[in-house]
Amino acid sequence: MNLRRYWTIYAALWKNSVAREMSFKGNFILWIIVELLWFGLQLTFVSVIYSQTNSVGTWTQWQMVMLIGASNFIQQVFQAFFLTNCTGLSELVRTGKMDFLLALPINTRFLVSLRVVDLGAFINAAFGLSVLVYAAHKAGVHPTFVQLCGFSTLCMVGILIHYSLMFILATISFWTVRAQGIVWGYYNLFNIARMPDEAFTKARVFKAVFTFALPVLLVSNVPVRVLADKISSPWSWLLLLGVGAVWACISEWFWRYSIRRYTSASS
């Protein structure tokens, strides 16, 4: 019964998001166009790289296009559900609206994390997935049902990791009031996820940081490796699952700790 109540609330949040987006149709369409242009520039960048070489490590051109498509898909799904909400947390604290949310008879993190839905990001995610499918066809990749399930699961884990890390950064606003710079700084690191992890073989410290501390390389590389049958052992996807679980737990702990220190906007 409690789950049904939350589904009802979330459906109402979706309805409000649709009404908001349709009130500003020009902005809705323009933002989709901007995202697609940026996606196109990333694909152009790949063609430039592979005009000078045949592979990056063991990654062929079409496999790298698969990586960019998967990275865009994961990023856009994350953006659809969580980005606006994470970046808006500091405003809730600054304006005192957090006081109102804490008083509601509902899990506050649920409401803070999911109150706004970015509908345009779903369209951009569909384009990313389309590029991934086309690139897989060109690369001669024919994944099995198990690989498709593994890819889908690891994509969800990647989204969970992005959300957990960005939510931790957003909750810093309980101390600093404004934290958009920190949150958007992490969002810009998503661009690293579009590169093959083998490109950073010699930069060991860099690779270690963005594999364990800020695991943006794991988030897209591992799902595509599963899809393209480029994993010889389960180590990589077990690592991604483990990192996802660890950061989810840390995120929940940090949220509870931050809420206990929150003293409302009026005090």
Single-letter code of the amino acid located at 11: A
**Extents of the domains making up the chain:** 2-261
**What confidence tier does 206 reach under pLDDT thresholds 50, 70, 90?**
confident
Location of structure tokens 């779903």: 122
Taking CA atoms, 86 is separated from 5, 170, 249, in Å, by 23, 6, 17
Handedness of CA 154, 156, 158, 164 (dihedral sign): negative
Q: Are 128 and 76 in contact (CB under 8 A)?
A: yes
- Percent of the chain's residues with pLDDT above 90: 35
Residue 42 reports pLDDT greater than 90 = no
Two tokens at 127? 């384009």
Q: What is the pTM of this model?
A: 0.89
- Find the DSSP H helices in 50-107: 61-78, 84-95, 97-103
Looking at residues 114-141, what average pLDDT do you find?
Answer: 92
- Tell me what pLDDT residue 74 has: 94
Cα(16)–Cα(51) distance, rounded to whole angstroms? Answer: 47
CA-to-CA distance for 68 and 107, rounded, in angstroms?
35
pLDDT band at 201 (very low <50, low <70, confident <90, very high): confident
> CB-based burial of residue 47 (10 Å sphere; 0-12 exposed, 13-18 middle, 19+ buried)?
exposed
Task: Name the more confident of 2 and 72.
Answer: 72
Alpha carbons 84 and 79: distance in angstroms, whole number: 7
What single-letter amino acid sits at 37?
A: L
3-state secondary structure (DSSP) of residue 142: coil
> In this predicted model, what pLDDT tens digit does every residue of 123-133 receive, in sequence order?
999 999 999 99
pLDDT at residue number 113 = 93
